[in-house]
Homo-oligomer: A and B are copies of this chain.
Amino acid sequence: MIKIVNDGNRMELHSPTALPHASSFLWNSKMMIHMNCRGYAVSQFMQPEPSKYAYAPNLEAKTFMQPEQPYFAHHPGRFFYIKNETTGRFFSAPYEPVREKVEHFVFSAGKSDIQWKIKHEGVDIIMQLSLPKDDVLEQWSFTIKNSCTEEKKLSIYPYFPVGYMSWMNQSGVYDDHLNAIICSSVTPYQKYKEYDKIKTLKDKTFFLASEKPNAWEISQFAFEGEGGLHNPDGIQQNFLSNGNATYETPACIMQYQLQLKPNESKTFQFLFGPAKDEKEIAAIKKRYFDKDGFSHIKNEYDQYIGEGKGCVHIKTPDKNFDNFVNHWLPRQVYYHGETNRLSTDPQTRNYLQDNMGMSYIKPETTRKTFITALSQQKESGAMPDGILIHKEAVLKYINQVPHTDHCVWLPICLKAYLNETNDYGLLNEKIPFENSSKKASVAEHLNLAMHWIYKNRDERGLNYIDQGDWCDPMNMVGPEGKGVSGWLTLATAYALTVWAEICENNNRKNDSIRFHNKAKEVNKAANEHLWDGEWYARGITDNNIPFGIKDDQEGRIFLNPQGWALLSGAADTNKADHLIKIIEEELETPFGVQMLAPAYTKMREDIGRVTQKYPGSAENGSIYNHAAAFYIFGLYKSGYRDKAYVLLRKMIAGPDQEDLVQRGQLPVFIPNYYRGAYKQFPKTAGRSSQLFNTGTAPWMYRCLLEGLLGLIGTKKGLKIDPQLPSHWHGIEVVRQFRGATFNITISRKPKIKVMTILVDGNQLQEPIISNIQKKTYQVEVLLPIDQSKSK
């Protein structure tokens, strides 16, 4: 059903119906398109806020990207009807809207393009979508070949619905000079001051064709007629009616009649996207359709995407795992770092974590991120709820709700960057505060942040939660200013510890001791007030009610406090062993580890919105991969390598057919969640959200590098501490690190008693490769068969 091809560079799906929502996505710095295997698409571009150029058939709400996006017949998509002019029969590619079962179907996700290959009724079709590096538009090519022994007379109809653009003004005309359909609209508004903004928007949608069509239609209603999208009147006619859309829902539809000899093929190229005016469209036509513009720009994009390949390449006993790690994981990390989820005000924690991932791809981006974020820190040390990364940006949606956790991500994410780059110089950069002329070093900024989060605790020593922490919708635990977060308390302890370690590396011994002591103090408070005898509570409400404890009927146990107790060191070995067992019983499923259980089935007014989400979805007890990644990171930190690998592996859909079907997703990205509530709703457990915006990606990469592979950057150099699962006998790794390339083999050997490391044939005395030169190292790591007990 799925197939890895092109040395792992492409993932193929051979059915349009087995995983009907399977998809891939492409992006550049200004846009994103999420393309479903059947032809449906969700696309947006920044101007500067996310905007559409292909709309729903009705007036859609502006909202963040939705999990489990519902598709329906008139959902935006990109389709081609293919009609045999001799028989009158037709079908559509890739699959929608006709849904005819074609003889051969391949949806092929590439890193810098998406393709379909279809064979049906004597024709071979290759459709390809790619993006340019800098422009906002889709590049489509459509090749059709006559695979019969007789000449064929065909009509090809691209059908790119534009949808309901605007109630104020929407229309579409065919521009004969440009070979383009140009749909125009006015972004709806009512207050006259908004005019200054809307008048700058790209309110046109164009469909530019490389060749003149024989006919065209722009009124969606006229095209569809009484036949319906599966059998449109327009296709039943000999020729489309050359009709405009005049305050009617527009669609870009062209008809090409062609005759193909046996084995003859024909390629069409199309561009689809938004524009300000006809002049811009004319310029695009020139740039893309003159000479080799089309393929030149495609190559540029390939190169851009190629730059996101990450710093490690692995070969392990699990080929499917390797494929994801080598190809798709760094791509997803790169996407986050490059686009900040197409937001102008990314949540502070997302901004920091997404860019933590860039430490492994483009660390200069990560560096800038810290400077941008810390320049918006308040002098008190508090961090804002979102980081404004565009001059017109304002805090929107969830960023208008006060959350208390943002500071903890600073040292945690910084550590990853420093590990990878050793750029301790960053700590001395002097940068400003929000609304202040004062400047301070990055180290000072971090000190202030750590003081702020340390101070923001109650008399018991537990961190206030206000209207949320990492868990956005946990909004009613602490609005009165009393409720505390168990997770955040443990995260504070961990952040203080990490910062203390950074201070030590940065030769600030006193700070280091000070922050280590504070961390211990916070851990102590956590153990005193949050441990319920079995696990750590998720928090204590404004009314002093602990929750996420064994006496609760719903939301008894939350994953995050346990995972972070491993990280912070609050849990000693006994507690850690116990927690892992408990989590296995209470939270693990065949699809990964749930964030809480049992999922809430009704509102708990002292916890909040999280309890109102559908049980097993999102933060209410799904397999929320971001939380799972924290836990896995904690497991590796504590040496539970077998458990860690099991859960790491479960983040990736497949390879079993049954698993793929249940998740409904291709393993080309990690979704923000798989449905959980496994015991409550087994029917849907495992189903992917299909949402590729998630803090999981950088953490998974970090788990891989610092956990599984144990190839960890330190002040001195590359520390080697692999944590292979017990059943692996050996792996090969190529690691790029500080300008050097390390070709590493790690293998278990019967005669080895303690880990032995050979670098270019020489045995290391301590497991760190230091004095790294810009060269290629050959590294052999030999492990004992029974390399310490796997916890």
Interface set of A (CB-CB < 8 Å, partner B)? 17, 56-63, 66-68, 70, 72-75, 99, 164, 167-171, 186, 189-192, 195, 199, 221, 226, 228-230, 246-249, 397-398, 400-401, 467, 475-476, 479, 603, 605, 608-609, 612-614, 616-617, 675, 681, 683-684
Q: What is the bound-complex CA distance between A99 and B75, given in angstroms?
A: 20
Q: Is the CB of B190 within 8 A of A401?
A: yes
Instruction: Pick the residue among B68, B164, B168, B228 that contacts A70 (CB under 8 A).
Output: B164
In the bound complex, how far is the Cα of B248 from the Cα of A191, in angstroms? 37
22 pairs, A vs B, C-beta closer than 8 Å: A56-B58, A57-B75, A58-B75, A59-B61, A59-B63, A59-B66, A60-B61, A70-B221, A72-B73, A73-B74, A73-B228, A99-B228, A169-B612, A169-B613, A169-B614, A190-B397, A190-B398, A190-B609, A195-B605, A228-B230, A246-B614, A246-B616
Contacts of A605 in B (CB 8 A): 195
Q: A70-B221, A228-B228 are in contact. List 10 more A-B contacts (CB 8 A).
A: A56-B56, A58-B75, A59-B66, A61-B62, A68-B248, A72-B73, A73-B74, A73-B229, A190-B397, A192-B608
Instruction: Contact check, A609 vs B192: say whether CB atoms are below 8 A apart.
Output: yes
Measured CA separation A683–B57 after assembly (Å): 22
Contact between chains at A603 and B199 (CB < 8 Å) = yes
CB-based contact A60/B60 at 8 Å: yes
Chain B: minimal CB distance from A147 (Å): 26
Indicate if the CB atoms of A683 and B246 lie closer than 8 Å.
yes
Residues of B close to A616: CB separation below 8 A: 246-247
The smallest C-beta distance from A71 to any residue of chain B, in angstroms, reads 9
How distant is the Cα of A475 from the Cα of B191 in the complex, in angstroms? Answer: 8
- Measured between beta carbons, the chain B residues less than 8 angstroms from A479 are 192
Residue of B nearest to A189 (CB): B609
Which residues of the other chain, B, contact A75 by a CB distance below 8 angstroms? 57-58
Query: Is the CB–CB distance between B73 and A73 below 8 Å?
Result: yes
Task: Give bound CA distance, A628 to B630, whole Å.
Answer: 67
A612 / chain B contacts, CB cutoff of 8 Å: 168-169, 186
Enumerate chain B residues within 8 angstroms of A62, measured Cβ to Cβ.
Answer: 61
Tell me which residues across on chain B come within 8 A of A675, comparing CB atoms: 247
Give Cα A62 to B61, complex, Å: 7
- Complex A-B, nearest 3 residue pairs according to Cβ-Cβ distance, in ascending order: A247-B614, A72-B74, A73-B73
| Nearest CB of B to A471, in Å | 13
Contacts of A67 in B (CB 8 A): 167
CB distance from A397 to the nearest CB of B (A): 6
Check if A195 sits within 8 Å of B609, measured CB to CB.
yes
This chain's copy number in the assembly? 2
Closest to A247 in B: B614
Select from chain B the residue with minimum beta-carbon distance to A396: B190
Contacts of A613 in B (CB 8 A): 168-169, 186
Q: Which of A68, A74, A467, A614 has the most CB of B within 10 A?
A: A614
Which residues does chain B contribute within 8 Å of A58, judged by CB atoms? Answer: 56, 58, 60, 70, 72, 75
Chain B residues closer than 8 Å to A247, beta-carbon distance: 68, 614, 616-617, 675, 684
**A70, A398, A479 pick with most chain B CB within 10 angstroms:** A70
Q: Which residues of B contact A190 (CB under 8 A)?
A: 397-398, 400-401, 609
Q: Across the interface, do A226 and B401 meet the contact criterion of CB distance under 8 Å? A: no
Q: Identify the closest chain B residue to A186 (Cβ).
A: B612
Residues of B within 8 A of A191 (CB): 400-401
User: Contact between A171 and B401 (Cβ–Cβ < 8 Å)?
Assistant: no
Q: For the complex, what is the distance from the CA of A99 to the CA of B199, rounded to whole Å? A: 42
User: CB-CB < 8 A to A221: which residues of B?
Assistant: 70
How near does chain B come to A165, taking the closest CB pair, in angstroms?
10
- Chain B CB within 10 A, most for which of A62, A75, A221, A247: A247
Q: Tell whether, in the assembled complex, residue B60 and residue A249 are in contact, meaning their CB atoms are under 8 Å apart.
A: no
Set of chain B residues within 8 Å of A199, measured between Cβ atoms: 603
Residues A467 and B170 in contact, CB atoms below 8 Å apart: no
Of chain B, the residue at the smallest CB distance from A58 is B56
A168 to B479 alpha-carbon distance, docked (Å): 21
* Least CB separation from A684: chain B residue: B246
Find the residue from A61, A467, A479 having the highest chain B CB count within 10 A. Answer: A61
Compute how far the CA of A616 lies from the CA of B248 in the bound complex, rounded to whole angstroms: 12
- Asked if B74 contacts A170 (CB within 8 A), the reply is no
Once the chains are docked, how many angstroms separate the CA of A246 from the CA of B617?
A: 10
Are A17 and B246 in contact, CB atoms less than 8 angstroms apart?
A: no
Closest to A194 in B: B609
In the bound complex, residues from chain B placing their C-beta under 8 Å from that of A603 are 199
A67 to chain B, nearest CB (A): 7
Q: CB distance B192 to A467 under 8 Å?
A: yes
Query: When chains A and B are docked, how far (Å) is the Cα of A68 from the Cα of B58?
Result: 11
In the complex, what residues of B have CB within 8 A of residue A226's CB?
17, 99
Which residues in B have their C-beta under 8 angstroms from that of A246? Answer: 614, 616, 681, 683-684
Q: Which residues of B contact A59 (CB under 8 A)?
A: 60-61, 63, 66
A62 nearest in chain B by CB position: B61
Q: How far apart sit A62 and B59, CA to CA, in the bound complex (Å)? A: 8
Give which listed residue, B99, B167, B192, contacts A66 with CB less than 8 A.
B167
- Give the nearest-CB partner of A16 in chain B: B226
A199–B612 alpha-carbon span in the complex (Å): 11
Closest-CB distance, A589 to chain B (whole angstroms): 16
Interface centre among A99, A169, A230, A613 (most CB of B within 10 A): A169
Task: Name the CB-closest residue of B to A400.
Answer: B191
Q: Closest B-chain residue to A608, C-beta based?
A: B192
Residues of B within 8 A of A681 (CB): 246
Closest residue of chain B to A605, judged by CB? B195
Nearest CB in chain B: distance from A475 CB, A: 5
Partner of A61, one of B61, B68, B74, B475: B61
Alpha-carbon gap, A637 to B60, bound state (A):
46
Selected contact of A195 from candidates B57, B164, B230, B476, CB within 8 Å: B476
In the bound assembly, the distance between CA atoms of A789 and B208 in angstroms comes to: 61
Cα distance A75–B72 in the bound complex, in angstroms = 10
Residues of chain B within 8 A (CB-CB) of A475 are 192
Per the bound structure, the CA–CA distance linking A228 and B95 in Å amounts to 12
Least CB distance from A98 to B in Å reads 9
CA distance A247 to B616 in the complex (A): 9
Q: Note all chain B residues with C-beta closer than 8 A to A230.
A: 228, 230
Rounded to whole angstroms, the CA-CA distance of A684 and B222 in the bound complex is 13
Cα-based distance from A133 to B396 in the complex (angstroms): 42
Residues of B within 8 A of A476 (CB): 192, 195
Instruction: Select from chain B the residue with minimum beta-carbon distance to A192.
Output: B475
Instruction: Report the separation of the CA atoms of residues A503 and B221 in the bound assembly, to the nearest whole angstrom.
Output: 55
Cα A170 to Cα B614 in complex, Å, equals 7
A411, chain B: closest CB distance, angstroms: 29
Query: Whole-angstrom distance from the CB of A399 to the nearest CB of chain B?
Result: 10
Chain B residue nearest in CB terms to A468: B192
Question: Within 8 Å CB of A63, what residues of B?
Answer: 59, 167
Distance, CA A99 to CA B164, complexed state (A): 23
